[in-house]
C-alpha cells in the first residue's frame, strides 16, 4: 500500500501554494492576452469569448494544481530521505 510521509506532504503543501501563485500569474497573463486578441478582432462581447476563456483558465488551474503538489511531494520525499 502507498504510505504518505510527512516531508512529502509538507512538500506537496508548498507545491500547492506555489502552484496557486503560478496559476494567478500565468492565468492573468494568458487571460489578458486572450481578451486583447479577441477585442482586436471585435469579438470581445461574443458569448464564446468568455466560455473559451473560462476553459483556458480551467486548463491552467488543473495543470498547476495537479502538477505542482506532485512535484512538491516528490521533492520533499527525496530531500528528507
Q: Is residue 1 part of a domain?
A: no
- CA-based nearest residue to 64, from 27, 9, 11, 10: 27
- What's the domain range around 44? 7-80
pLDDT tens digits for 35-64? Answer: 888 888 887 778 887 788 889 899 999 999
3-class SS of residue 15? helix
Note the pLDDT of residue 38.
82
Q: Is residue 46 part of a domain?
A: yes
pLDDT tens digits for 7-38? Answer: 999 999 999 999 999 999 998 899 888 888 88
Q: Is residue 57 part of a domain?
A: yes
Number of domains making up the chain: 1
Better-predicted residue by pLDDT, 70 or 42: 70
Amino acid at each position: 500500500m502507498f504510505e504518505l510521509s510527512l516531508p512529502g506532504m509538507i512538500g506537496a503543501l508548498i507545491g500547492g501554494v506555489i502552484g496557486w501563485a503560478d496559476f494567478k500569474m500565468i492565468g492573468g497573463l494568458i487571460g489578458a492576452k486572450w481578451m486583447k486578441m479577441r477585442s482586436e478582432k471585435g469579438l470581445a462581447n461574443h458569448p464564446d469569448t468568455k466560455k473559451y476563456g473560462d476553459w483556458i483558465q480551467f486548463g491552467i488551474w488543473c495543470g498547476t494544481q495537479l502538477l505542482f503538489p506532485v512535484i512538491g511531494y516528490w521533492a520533499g520525499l527525496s530531500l528528507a530521505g
